[in-house]
């Protein structure tokens, strides 16, 4: 959101380094790589609501701190710390969808949820600079609403609270019956044991679960391309087409059209396709029934990269480049929605940890890709540069839906966490 104001910020602090300027924007995304690793598991211990509320307060405090920063390095530190709090919805929010919606209804909710993290960076450069004070004011309003309306959704925590109320309501004579326990409680409920298990679970899932490994790598690549395109849209339309800054910024609308348009279509069809396939399978649902939209999505993305790169290189009419950008946005959001709902359906109880592992990789990619994009395009040009992106997208992405469609059930049956 601060991207349009980065020139003014650099001027205020007397910064002449392009690297520091880029870090000021992307270091917030870097924090998204680390926050979900402990916020997601903590939500499986203390509940979703508490973690979301406290994380939001943490974000608010450090985002206000950004407004008081006196040096560029203070701003970098405060932005990173604010990003830690802002990262909570990336893993906890998606897990709430798994808590609240049945599989037959989860697709539409996940589609709407996954749209915001991708549409926000698109809208930001169009609407102009969102200063720290204005974002803090909006966050205060969200915090107030959350205090009154954000309720706990995680089943193990809700059942533990219910069991505790039952234990407290029993008289002394009922002492033998006071050991009311839930199916989720273990004999050792010490704080240290719970924290160790929960905080290491995202890493364990990434190491042991092929589903998390492959889909996390692909999601990271998608996120990297998304942020790379956010960076290169000005390079294309200001550099190649010689458009003024105000006009060049309007081409972010093309990315927004691709992201929001494909998201709306998928939101209306994902659950219908899921129910149809479930009925054809004798009423037995499978997480793989979330993947059909991923098949065309893995093709749309490289096609969009090729159209954007070579039309820009050949200096054809700018509308052709915008068409390519639309296809890139559509391919990214469709893949995102399918991957996210597939992970939620597969690891429902530990969805926050699975999404934390995926979010870690994708946020690192979102941080790194914009840093090397200018150098890559200077060396290869837009045509060859986007061709390289397209080829890698085909190699990583195209096999994924076929693998999990045919072998997903077999992989899940060998999984420790998918059976939980």
Burial 221-248 (b: 16+ CB within 10 A, else e): bbbbbbbbbbbbbbbbbbebeebeeeeb
Query: 295 and 390 in contact (C-beta within 8 Å)?
Result: no
Which pLDDT score, from 0 to 100, does residue 45 have? 78
Query: 215 and 361 in contact (C-beta within 8 Å)?
Result: no
Q: What is the DSSP letter of 153?
A: -
Query: 44 and 51 in contact (C-beta within 8 Å)?
Result: no
Tokens of 22: 């880029």
Q: What is the DSSP letter of 185?
A: -
Q: Assess whether pLDDT exceeds 60 at residue 3.
A: no
Across the range 53-75, mean pLDDT stands at: 88
Tokens of 350: 């530990």
Across the range 221-237, mean pLDDT stands at: 86
Rounded Cα distance, 339 and 159, in Å? 29
Q: Assess whether pLDDT exceeds 90 at residue 348.
A: no
Phi, psi of 236 (to 5 degrees): -70, -55
Which pLDDT score, from 0 to 100, does residue 264 have? 84
Place of tokens 């974002």: 135
Q: Assess whether pLDDT exceeds 80 at residue 114.
A: no
Across the range 69-83, mean pLDDT stands at: 89
Which pLDDT score, from 0 to 100, does residue 172 have? 58
Q: What is the DSSP letter of 403?
A: H
- Using a 10 angstrom Cβ sphere, with 0-12 exposed, 13-18 middle and 19 or more buried, the burial of residue 8 is exposed
Which pLDDT score, from 0 to 100, does residue 156 have? 77
Rounded Cα distance, 363 and 367, in Å? 6
If one compares 245 and 391, the residue with the highest pLDDT of the two is 391
Give the start-to-end residue ranges of the domains of the chain: 3-154+197-413
Which pLDDT score, from 0 to 100, does residue 420 have? 46
The domain 3-154+197-413 is placed in CATH, from the list 3.30.70.260, 3.90.226.10, 3.50.50.60, 1.20.1250.20, at 1.20.1250.20
Distances (CA, A) of 40 to 132, 354, 418: 26, 9, 17
Query: How confident is the prediction for the chain on average, in pLDDT?
Result: 82
Which pLDDT score, from 0 to 100, does residue 298 have? 95
Which pLDDT score, from 0 to 100, does residue 339 have? 92
Q: Assess whether pLDDT exceeds 70 at residue 32.
A: yes
Query: 59 and 82 in contact (C-beta within 8 Å)?
Result: yes
Angle, vertex CA 271, rays to CA 267 and CA 273, nearest 5: 110
pLDDT digits (tens, 9 = 90+) for 125-141: 655 545 566 677 777 88
Q: What is the DSSP letter of 322?
A: H
Query: 196 and 42 in contact (C-beta within 8 Å)?
Result: no
Distances (CA, A) of 371 to 17, 291, 376, 379: 13, 32, 10, 14
Q: What is the DSSP letter of 293?
A: T
Residue 128 Rama label (left phi>0; alpha psi -120 to 50; beta): left
Rounded Cα distance, 237 and 232, in Å? 9
Q: What is the pTM of this model?
A: 0.78
Terminal Cα distance for the chain, rounded = 39
Rounded Cα distance, 246 and 63, in Å? 27
pLDDT digits (tens, 9 = 90+) for 264-292: 888 888 888 998 999 999 988 899 999 99
Angle, helix 351-397 to helix 399-413, in steps of 10 degrees: 140
Across the range 382-407, mean pLDDT stands at: 93
Rounded Cα distance, 273 and 289, in Å? 8
pLDDT digits (tens, 9 = 90+) for 285-312: 899 999 999 999 999 999 999 999 999 9
Residue 108's contacts (CB-CB under 8 Å, 6 or more residues apart) are: 267, 268, 270, 271
Cβ neighbours of 207 (radius 10 Å)? 10
Which pLDDT score, from 0 to 100, does residue 386 have? 94
Alpha helices by DSSP H, listed for 187-293, are 191-208, 210-234, 245-249, 252-280
Q: Assess whether pLDDT exceeds 80 at residue 59.
A: yes
């Amino acid at each position: 959101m601060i991207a349009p104001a980065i020139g003014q910020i650099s001027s205020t602090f007397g910064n002449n380094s392009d690297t520091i300027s880029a870090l000021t924007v992307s270091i917030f995304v870097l924090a998204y790589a680390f926050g979900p690793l402990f916020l997601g598991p903590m939500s499986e211990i203390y509940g979703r609501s508490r973690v979301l509320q406290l994380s939001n307060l943490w974000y608010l405090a450090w985002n206000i701190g950004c407004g008081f920063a006196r040096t560029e390095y203070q701003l970098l530190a405060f932005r990173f710390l604010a990003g830690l709090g802002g990262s909570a919805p990336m893993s906890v929010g998606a897990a709430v969808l798994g808590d609240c919606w049945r599989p037959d209804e989860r697709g539409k909710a996940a589609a709407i949820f996954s749209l915001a993290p991708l549409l926000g960076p698109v809208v930001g450069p169009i609407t102009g600079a969102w200063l720290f004070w204005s974002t803090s004011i909006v966050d205060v309003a969200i915090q107030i609403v959350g205090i009154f309306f954000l309720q706990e959704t995680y089943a193990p925590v809700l059942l533990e609270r219910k069991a505790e109320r039952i234990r407290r309501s029993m008289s002394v004579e009922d002492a033998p019956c006071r050991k009311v326990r839930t199916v989720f409680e273990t004999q050792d409920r010490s704080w240290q044991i719970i924290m160790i298990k929960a905080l290491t679970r995202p890493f364990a899932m990434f190491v042991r679960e092929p589903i998390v490994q492959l889909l996390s790598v692909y999601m990271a690549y998608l996120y990297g391309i998304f942020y790379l395109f956010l960076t290169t849209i000005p390079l294309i339309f200001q550099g190649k087409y010689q458009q003024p800054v105000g006009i060049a910024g309007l081409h972010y609308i093309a990315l927004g059209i691709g992201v929001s348009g494909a998201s709306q279509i998928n939101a209306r069809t994902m659950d219908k396709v899921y129910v149809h396939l479930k009925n054809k399978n004798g009423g037995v649902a499978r997480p793989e029934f979330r993947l059909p939209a991923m098949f065309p999505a893995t093709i749309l993305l490289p096609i969009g990269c090729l159209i954007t790169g070579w039309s820009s290189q050949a200096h054809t009419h700018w509308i052709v480049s915008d068409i390519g950008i639309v296809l890139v946005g559509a391919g990214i959001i469709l893949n995102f929605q399918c991957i996210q709902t597939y992970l939620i359906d597969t690891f429902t109880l530990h969805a926050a940890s699975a999404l934390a592992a995926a979010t870690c990789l994708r946020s690192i990619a979102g941080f790194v890709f914009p840093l090397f994009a200018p150098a890559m395009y200077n060396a290869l040009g837009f045509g060859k540069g986007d061709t390289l992106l397209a080829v890698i997208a085909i190699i990583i992405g195209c096999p994924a839906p076929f693998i999990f469609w045919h072998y997903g059930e077999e992989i899940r049956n060998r999984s420790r966490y998918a059976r939980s």
